[in-house]
């Protein structure tokens, strides 16, 4: 059975919706999810046979005129279908971006606590930070912009892209189904990050308009 994905306005979420998310088995409890409902615009759920297996809180907006997909919170339930759930959630994010920003290049940004979560960004290009690459001025400027947007700029280090204290809760909570396949150089990016989420790495990447057309097209 295919993963069923649905997006709603965060304002439409009920207490029962938030309770279901908090008991799914991910990293976020009820207080963090209540805050996410206030902070973000869209909520996407992924289900299999009606059972909740993942969710995101996100927004589509422009920062300095540039189209952006901001993933404030994402959680994927540990299980045999985690890869399909992650793929479904990201496909929905790309589809929404395509509808909102046709024919435009788009920045996608989020916070991460482990290399596992970066699997969500595997379809993006020019990811910052990335191993063996020294970010230049405009790339670092995007890190600062995202830190401000996520409300964590007070403890953000623009050299390492690490937020020492997370501030408002939110990151991509995904555990790889093949942790032994994670590249050591990718894992090394998280040497200063606590997996508990008390610190996070801010990462962004791009999807060019022609690629977004492919990623966001529904079959």
| 126 contact partners, CB below 8 Å, separation of at least 6 | 205, 206
Q: Which residues span the domain enclosing 42?
A: 4-215
What is the number of domains present in the chain? 1
Q: What is the mean pLDDT of each run of 10 residues along the chain (219 residues)?
A: 92 97 95 95 97 98 97 96 97 97 97 95 97 94 96 92 77 92 92 81 97 88
CA distances in angstroms from 91 to 120, 216, 217, listed in the order given = 10, 6, 8
The pTM assigned to this predicted structure is 0.94
CATH number, position 185 = 3.40.630
């Amino acid at each position: 059975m295919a993963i069923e994905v649905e997006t709603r306005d965060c304002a439409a979420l009920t207490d029962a919706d938030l309770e279901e998310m908090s008991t799914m088995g991910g990293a976020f409890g009820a207080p963090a999810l209540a805050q996410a409902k206030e902070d973000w615009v869209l909520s996407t759920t992924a289900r299999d046979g009606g059972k909740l297996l993942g969710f995101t809180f996100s927004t589509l907006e422009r920062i300095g005129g540039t189209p952006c997909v901001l993933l404030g919170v994402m959680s994927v339930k540990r299980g045999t279908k985690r890869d399909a759930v992650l793929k479904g959630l990201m496909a929905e994010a790309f589809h929404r971006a395509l509808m909102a920003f046709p024919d435009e290049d788009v920045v996608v940004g989020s916070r991460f606590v482990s290399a596992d979560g970066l699997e969500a960004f595997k379809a993006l290009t020019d990811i910052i930070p990335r191993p063996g690459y020294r970010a230049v001025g405009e790339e670092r400027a995007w890190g600062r912009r995202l830190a401000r947007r996520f409300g964590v700029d007070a403890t953000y280090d623009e050299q390492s892209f690490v937020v020492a204290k997370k501030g408002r809760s939110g990151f991509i909570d995904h555990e790889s189904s093949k942790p032994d396949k994670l590249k050591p150089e990718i894992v090394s990016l998280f040497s200063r990050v606590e997996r508990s989420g008390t610190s996070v790495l801010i990462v962004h990447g791009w999807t060019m308009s022609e690629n977004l057309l492919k990623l966001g097209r529904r079959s």
